[in-house]
Copies of this chain bind each other. A is one copy, B any other.
Amino acid sequence: MVLSNRTTLFCGIDDPAKMIEKLGCREESFQKDSIIVHKGDIIRSFAMVLDGSASVLRYDIEGNGNLVSVIDEGEIFAEAFGVEGSPSPVTIVARENATVLWFPLDKVLEERTLVCNLLIVSAERNLFLTKRLEHLSKRSLRDKVLSFLEEMREKNGSDEFDIELDRQEMADYLASDRSALSLVLSKLRKEGMLDFRKNHFVLKFTPKA
């Protein structure tokens, strides 16, 4: 992967490669399914995926690993608990053969531009999490769906838009069942609240706020 100063992290940094050198970052390769971060690890660094991708997993009480998120090439991870200095609440594994670049936080914190960029990344993630929480805190799937679609409308600035998620992903995002989601969507359509076809949606209700 080519490092570019167009990514949020390197924004405003002339020569990312030089900066990486200066920070003493180290590259590490992982085989598919090997563990990058164990739950409970305390790491005083954060990382960027240079090649491949990684899965963030959380193990529930029954020992099942649940997928929390996927980290693709160029994205960074572990910055939250890295910065905070607390043990990792998640396990991170390589989805395929992958290479990651570790940034030592003590050095990073001395680079004003990098810290600012990291702060922006953190703030972005924060907003994203808040929005999802907003949807999930609705009591019914119907309200979750409406809340989600309302966000999409705001994001696109139009009553008509496409969404990136397929039904299964949308159901997962809203923490529900795919067929239950289909049911709710069909019902909303019958009621004339909206129309849709695959990932194309047209909203016919208006927010009263």
- The answer to whether A61 and B119 touch across the interface, beta carbons within 8 angstroms, is no
Expressed in whole angstroms, the minimum distance between the Cβ of A121 and any Cβ of chain B is 9
Main secondary structure of the interface of A (DSSP, over half): helix
Instruction: Render A108-139 as a binary contact track against B, CB cut-off 8 A, 1 for contact.
Output: 01101001101110111111011111101111
- The interface-forming segment of A21-29, A76-84, A161-169 is A76-84
Total interface residues in chain A, CB < 8 Å = 52
Expressed in whole angstroms, the minimum distance between the Cβ of A128 and any Cβ of chain B is 9
Q: Which one, B59, B86, B112, B123, contacts A127 given CB within 8 A? A: B86
Number of copies of this chain that the complex holds? 2
- The answer to whether A63 and B130 touch across the interface, beta carbons within 8 angstroms, is no
Instruction: Render A161-197 as a binary contact track against B, CB cut-off 8 A, 1 for contact.
Output: 0000000000000011100000000000000000000
- The interface-forming segment of A47-55, A96-104, A201-209 is A201-209
- The answer to whether A84 and B127 touch across the interface, beta carbons within 8 angstroms, is yes
Q: Which residue of B lies closest to A177 (CB)?
A: B139
> Could you list some 26 contacts between A and B, CB below 8 A?
A39-B209, A58-B134, A59-B209, A60-B143, A60-B209, A61-B146, A61-B147, A61-B150, A61-B208, A61-B209, A63-B208, A68-B130, A80-B123, A83-B119, A83-B123, A84-B123, A84-B127, A109-B112, A109-B116, A112-B115, A115-B116, A119-B122, A122-B126, A126-B129, A129-B129, A132-B133
